[in-house]
């Protein structure tokens, strides 16, 4: 009976090779992301607009020029679901406050104002509230129709998150849910980091 073969010694070479491959991937990855990740193309330019401020600072295209906006509209009486939706929307400030150039805007009609009074009062910096004009709502509706390729969704009831770039152009609409908030934040960050004309 022959003696058992000795156990092979472990080598450090696979670890070094793995480390080098990882270093190369981590070095190249940002360049690949930059090539493939881009903010949505402009949908349409908005006319100059303003919404009388309810809190957080002036709300107008002039005052917010050069900023990336994530915007929502609450047009009906604001019950618990509306308050929760706006509370969740407001959490986006934590994901963009490092940039200093992304502002959240909640457009609130007179019907919705009482239900959102507490949120308006304690909103963090970077989140503004304003009362929209019928003209602004109509223009956002036209943008949504263009974005969707048809007139079948009522913007006033859609609770969409709207992305507006530094040049006051609409860039996209997302549902105000977890996935929609995440995607709109990512698009806003891309615009803030790379500008409206990357």
Tell whether 10 is covered by a domain. no
Confidence of residue 136 (pLDDT cuts 50, 70, 90): very high
Would you tell me how many other CB atoms lie within 10 Å of the CB of residue 98? 9
Query: How many angstroms separate the first and last alpha carbons of the chain?
Result: 73
Tell whether 33 is covered by a domain. no
Tell whether 97 is covered by a domain. yes
Q: Supply 58's token pair.
A: 């002036």
Q: Taking a C-beta distance cutoff of 8 angstroms, is the pair 105, 70 a contact?
A: yes
Question: In this structure, what CATH number is given to the domain that contains residue 150?
Answer: 3.40.30.10
Tell whether 37 is covered by a domain. no
Tell whether 81 is covered by a domain. yes
Host domain of residue 91: 44-194
Instruction: Name the one residue in this structure whose structure tokens are 């805007």.
Output: 105
Helix residue ranges per DSSP H, the chain: 13-36, 80-90, 93-96, 113-122, 134-148, 155-158, 178-194
- What is the tens place of the pLDDT at every residue in 92-120? 999 998 988 999 999 999 999 999 999 99
Q: Taking a C-beta distance cutoff of 8 angstroms, is the pair 184, 69 a contact?
A: no
- What is the tens place of the pLDDT at every residue in 27-70? 554 444 444 456 788 999 999 999 999 988 899 999 999 999 99
Tell whether 139 is covered by a domain. yes
Tell whether 28 is covered by a domain. no
For residues 78-82, average pLDDT: 95
Domain count, the chain: 1
**CA–CA separation, 67 and 71 (whole Å):** 12
Tell whether 75 is covered by a domain. yes
Model pTM?
Answer: 0.80
The helix (run of H) or strand (run of E) holding residue 45 is strand 44-45
């Amino acid at each position: 009976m022959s003696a058992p073969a000795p156990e092979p010694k472990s080598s450090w070479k696979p670890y070094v090779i793995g480390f080098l491959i990882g270093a190369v991937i981590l070095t190249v990855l940002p360049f690949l992301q930059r090539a493939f990740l881009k903010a949505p193309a402009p949908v349409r330019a908005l006319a100059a607009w303003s919404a009388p401020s309810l809190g957080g600072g002036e709300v107008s295209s002039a005052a917010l020029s050069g900023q990336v906006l994530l915007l929502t509209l609450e047009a009906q009486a604001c019950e618990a679901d509306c308050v929760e939706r706006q509370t969740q929307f407001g959490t986006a400030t934590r994901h963009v406050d490092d940039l200093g150039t992304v502002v959240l805007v909640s457009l609130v009609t007179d019907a919705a104002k009482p239900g959102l009074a507490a949120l308006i009062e304690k909103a963090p910096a970077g989140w503004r509230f304003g009362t929209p004009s019928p003209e602004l709502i109509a223009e956002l509706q036209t943008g949504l129709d263009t974005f969707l390729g048809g007139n079948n969704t009522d913007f006033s009831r859609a609770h969409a998150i709207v992305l507006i770039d530094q040049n006051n152009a609409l860039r996209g609409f997302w549902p105000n849910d977890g996935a929609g908030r995440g995607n709109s934040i990512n698009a806003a960050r891309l615009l803030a980091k790379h500008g409206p004309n990357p």
